[in-house]
A and B are shown apart, each in its own frame.
Chain A
Amino acid sequence: MAERQLAMVMDLNKCIGCQTCTIACKQLWTRDEGMEYMWWNSVNTQPGRGTPKDWEKMGGGFPNKKPDPGRIPTRAEFGDAWEYNHKEVFYGGKGDKTHLQIQGQKPDWGPNWDEDQGAGEYPNSYYFYLPRICNHCTHPACLEACPRNAIEKNAENGIVTVNEDSCRGYRFCMAACPYKKIYFNQVAKVAQKCIFCFPRIEKGVANACARQCPGRVRFVGYRDDQNAPIYKLVDKWKVAIPLHPEYGTEPNVFYVPPLGPARFDEAGDLDESTPRIPTEYLESLFGPAVHDSLAILKAEMEKAREGGKSELMDLLIAYKWKDMFGGFDRDPASIEWVKAESTEG
């Protein structure tokens, strides 16, 4: 176990599914050859089938405390990268005759498209967004599955990374990660994954997905920093809880579950007695801790509505943007970044 652990909290009540986080990550980290299909950050609509498609049925992790081998998601299941005729349309002088078309074989599943699926019946239909990154688990199934010890958990901050010099592309990690957050680079022939923006973190800058988020959804910081929001949301107020705790990897990304809007009854009046997002569904994602979390959120919200002071609501509203980053609030524009030799783009 690492001495300290960096963590993230994502407030699902505030996520608007804009994918700014996804693009921030893509621009920064996954533009090299072989990374085209990778989305180290993804945002899915729930209760859709997710990315990769049906990832929750692919196994891995430590259900019942024992390793489950799991299976490797295919590129098509991730929603492969496909090409458009950009050149022709934008630069080929044919803009008035042709339109953007997918080149080659048409994909039949893609993120932020086919998975964008809610549930329920009008007028009580519902959906919410679920952003996901690697959970930088305390008990990382990826690391433990690798026969070459090529996956490392940083002793000082708990960030889990692939050592690409040791990796031989065996992909046991991809099968073992129950969150399906490891990708295989066919060009470099190694596994690649979210690095929790460690080169930024080392310089006091919060992760790109967190800083760029217009919804103020993401808190960043050390788990044990008692003065910072992560500790308060996870340990003090116990409203931020991990996704699929039953996978047994002890994630360090935590979610504030969505309360969702109230239901309409048959007369068309608001019915606050049953939630629109079925609690059983939320329990299937976040485990039984979701009940207490929702109850605390409701009570504190009520308190604030009645004019009371709620530390929890103040935290979640995130009045001061920089306070969300547990001290990692340095402006990246104030740093002169040096490009690493081994990467391009």
Chain B
Amino acid sequence: MRVQYDPKADSASLLDPGSKIWNGRKREVLELMGAPAGLQPSGAIRAAYADQKIGAVTSVSVSALHDGEVIAFRLEWQDPSDDASIGDNDSFPDAAALAFPVHEQAPMILMGAPGMPVNAWYWRADDGEKGRHVTAEGLGTSRLLDESLVKVRGQWKAGRRALVISRSMQVGDVPGAAQFAPGEPSRFGVAIWEGSHGERAGIKAFSGNWKDLTIDALPEKGGN
């Protein structure tokens, strides 16, 4: 997928899924699959989902922009119910995340492995616009890096949810965080949790193996 460079983008419009800056951008539709029950980290979860479908959301359309500093992904998917809060003990909020390999060999399906971290930019509906910057080395190992670097803004309208998740391409020396640069290739994945189906933790829909990411280079500085 291509991350387009837009010099006119400012961080406010980038972050707004309804901003016209996103109009007419190429959207890539990613098919999502359910996380396999057999890989879930506990016996009770494996037993609970042995005969139960995982992965209520089956596809997501993604576009991405950068302004040289900030990289933003706009996700949009069909979401019949706006599960924004935890109403009762048995209700769960919608959630979504972008994932990036920090280690060359980090497996997406397992959210990394020991010594092979994955960086995730995570949003959960009950957190409002607070994004979580997370690193993981395997299912169930995610660890919060900070709650300030990842910016999120979403909207839910008539059964569709649009969400922008963004971060500075470079975040200094944060172990477990992915770094990006214009013109440098990268890889990514998407995961979506449908709250009304009780999806949380490893019970999610995800985009399969890592997808390629081409980040537009900055234009050559002209001779002015």
Bound CA–CA A249/B19 (angstroms): 54
Q: In the bound complex, do residue A175 and residue B201 qualify as a contact, i.e. CB atoms below 8 Å apart?
A: no
The yes or no answer to A255 lying at the interface (CB within 8 A) is: no
Q: Indicate with 1 or 0, residue by residue over B22-55, a CB within 8 angstroms of chain A CB atoms.
A: 0000000000000000001111111110000000
The yes or no answer to B213 lying at the interface (CB within 8 A) is: no
The yes or no answer to A124 lying at the interface (CB within 8 A) is: no
| Inter-chain contacts of A258 with B (CB < 8 A) | none
The yes or no answer to A162 lying at the interface (CB within 8 A) is: no
Q: In the bound complex, do residue B42 and residue A170 qualify as a contact, i.e. CB atoms below 8 Å apart?
A: no
Bound CA–CA A69/B42 (angstroms): 10
Q: In the bound complex, do residue A189 and residue B201 qualify as a contact, i.e. CB atoms below 8 Å apart?
A: no
Q: Which of A70-78, A100-108, A239-247 forms part of the interface with chain B?
A: A70-78
Q: In the bound complex, do residue A66 and residue B47 qualify as a contact, i.e. CB atoms below 8 Å apart?
A: yes
B83 to chain A, nearest CB (A): 14
B126 to chain A, nearest CB (A): 7
Q: In the bound complex, do residue A67 and residue B90 qualify as a contact, i.e. CB atoms below 8 Å apart?
A: no
- Identify which of residues 31-87 in chain A touch chain B, using a CB-to-CB cut-off of 8 Å: 60, 66-76, 78
CB-CB under 8 A for A186 and B86, given A149-B140, A170-B200 = yes
Q: In the bound complex, do residue B90 and residue A71 qualify as a contact, i.e. CB atoms below 8 Å apart?
A: yes
Q: In the bound complex, do residue B201 and residue A168 qualify as a contact, i.e. CB atoms below 8 Å apart?
A: yes
Residue among A68, A76, A146, A147 facing the most chain B CB atoms (10 A cut-off)? A147
Q: Indicate with 1 or 0, residue by residue over A222-237, a CB within 8 angstroms of chain B CB atoms.
A: 0000000000000000
Q: In the complex, which of the residues B44, B86, B89, B126 contacts A172, with contact meaning CB atoms closer than 8 Å? A: B44
Q: In the bound complex, do residue A171 and residue B42 qualify as a contact, i.e. CB atoms below 8 Å apart?
A: no
| Inter-chain contacts of A186 with B (CB < 8 A) | 86
Q: In the bound complex, do residue A145 and residue B42 qualify as a contact, i.e. CB atoms below 8 Å apart?
A: yes
Interface residues on A, range: 20 to 34
| Inter-chain contacts of A67 with B (CB < 8 A) | 42-44, 46-47
Bound CA–CA A85/B161 (angstroms): 41
Bound CA–CA A264/B202 (angstroms): 58
B58 to chain A, nearest CB (A): 23
- Identify which of residues 41-88 in chain B touch chain A, using a CB-to-CB cut-off of 8 Å: 41-48, 86, 88
Bound CA–CA A25/B198 (angstroms): 31
| Inter-chain contacts of A141 with B (CB < 8 A) | 44
| Inter-chain contacts of A66 with B (CB < 8 A) | 43, 47
CB-CB under 8 A for A73 and B201, given A68-B47, A148-B140 = no
Bound CA–CA A73/B44 (angstroms): 16
Bound CA–CA A59/B88 (angstroms): 19
The yes or no answer to A323 lying at the interface (CB within 8 A) is: no
A322 to chain B, nearest CB (A): 39
| Inter-chain contacts of B88 with A (CB < 8 A) | 74-76
The yes or no answer to A176 lying at the interface (CB within 8 A) is: yes
Q: In the bound complex, do residue A147 and residue B86 qualify as a contact, i.e. CB atoms below 8 Å apart?
A: no
Q: In the bound complex, do residue B89 and residue A73 qualify as a contact, i.e. CB atoms below 8 Å apart?
A: yes
Q: In the complex, which of the residues A70, A75, A144 contacts B89, with contact meaning CB atoms closer than 8 Å? A: A75
What residue of chain A has the Cβ atom nearest to residue B86's Cβ?
A: A186
Q: In the bound complex, do residue B90 and residue A172 qualify as a contact, i.e. CB atoms below 8 Å apart?
A: no
Q: In the bound complex, do residue B44 and residue A144 qualify as a contact, i.e. CB atoms below 8 Å apart?
A: yes
A128 to chain B, nearest CB (A): 29
The yes or no answer to B169 lying at the interface (CB within 8 A) is: no
Q: In the bound complex, do residue A189 and residue B45 qualify as a contact, i.e. CB atoms below 8 Å apart?
A: no
Q: In the bound complex, do residue A147 and residue B126 qualify as a contact, i.e. CB atoms below 8 Å apart?
A: no
Bound CA–CA A127/B151 (angstroms): 58
| Inter-chain contacts of A169 with B (CB < 8 A) | 86
| Inter-chain contacts of A69 with B (CB < 8 A) | 44-45, 47-48
Q: In the bound complex, do residue B90 and residue A147 qualify as a contact, i.e. CB atoms below 8 Å apart?
A: no
| Inter-chain contacts of A189 with B (CB < 8 A) | 86, 126
Bound CA–CA A175/B43 (angstroms): 13
Q: In the complex, which of the residues A70, A78, A146, A183 contacts B42, with contact meaning CB atoms closer than 8 Å? A: A146
What residue of chain B has the Cβ atom nearest to residue A149's Cβ?
A: B140
The yes or no answer to B139 lying at the interface (CB within 8 A) is: yes
Q: In the bound complex, do residue A174 and residue B140 qualify as a contact, i.e. CB atoms below 8 Å apart?
A: no
- Identify which of residues 173-194 in chain A touch chain B, using a CB-to-CB cut-off of 8 Å: 174-176, 183-184, 186, 189
Q: Could you write out 23 A-B pairs with CB less than 8 Å apart? A: A67-B43, A67-B46, A69-B45, A69-B47, A70-B44, A73-B90, A74-B88, A74-B89, A74-B90, A75-B88, A141-B44, A145-B44, A147-B40, A147-B41, A147-B139, A147-B140, A148-B141, A169-B86, A170-B201, A171-B200, A172-B45, A172-B48, A175-B48
A-B contacts besides A78-B89, A144-B44, A147-B140, 7 pairs, CB < 8 Å: A66-B43, A67-B42, A67-B46, A69-B47, A144-B43, A148-B201, A189-B86
Mark B residues whose CB is within 8 Å of A. Answer: 40-48, 86, 88-90, 126, 139-142, 200-202
Which 8 pairs, one residue from A and one from B, show the smallest C-beta to C-beta distance? A69-B48, A145-B44, A147-B140, A67-B43, A67-B44, A72-B90, A147-B41, A176-B44
